[in-house]
Amino acid sequence: NAGVTQTPKFQVLKTGQSMTLQCAQDMNHEYMSWYRQDPGMGLRLIHYSVGAGITDQGEVPNGYNVSRSTTEDFPLRLLSAAPSQTSVYFCASSPVGTYNEQFFGPGTRLTVL
Amino acid sequence: GEDVEQSLFLSVRERDSSVINCTYTDSSSTYLYWYKQEPGAGLQLLTYIFSNMDMKQDQRLTVLLNKKDKHLSLRIADTQTGDSAIYFCAESSGYSSASKIIFGSGTRLSIRP
């Protein structure tokens, strides 16, 4: 299994541009989520999905959209990038079951100029 | 709202024990976790403890939970250079994979010779 994969690894955008961060998992996990990691602030939940066709907002959803058309894929869209969205983005998935272990992708480092 | 706090830095000598501490506010926490993040990588679950336990040991790792004081600690025995990483404390208040997980800001562990 490849686990959780994310592309791209690095991205630089100009203010106002849009882009999609890709996330895929091959473990048949129902639950997927997006976090952003900022220095000294831990991980903050952006959006999550409990299954195909179902998404919901996390702690910091503004400026981001998600969709979940398949179990495997959970893309994150930045509609109009802003410098405040400069961060490292992690996608995670979790199986249904005990103790809710989250499996993380390697991250996407995004810089918005 | 729920919060998880931990100190940002810890420096220990190689082969000494490392103790990383964490406090949390959610009295309904069901699972508490320690995740490890190595440079340039995503988070990986190191260990977890169910809220009705007060201790869990796994090889060099010992987790202590004081539910009354809402205090969690991770002890790494015989600390090695490969233990250099950021360690995140996290808590979850539910049983399903959709349960919200709150992460602390991470403790950067550095090892000196």
Q: Would you give per-residue pLDDT tens digits along chain B (113 residues)? A: 678 999 999 999 999 999 999 999 988 888 899 999 998 888 999 999 998 899 999 999 999 999 999 999 999 999 999 999 999 999 987 655 556 788 999 999 999 98
Residues of chain B found within 8 Å of residue A100, distances taken between Cβ atoms: 31, 92, 94-97, 99, 101
- pLDDT score of A13 more than 70: yes
Chain B interface test: which of A36, A56, A99, A103 (most B C-beta within 10 Å): A99
What is the distance between the alpha carbons of residues A36 and B74, in angstroms, rounded to a whole number? 24
CB A90 within 8 A of CB A34: yes
The pairing of beta strand B9-13 with beta strand B107-112? parallel
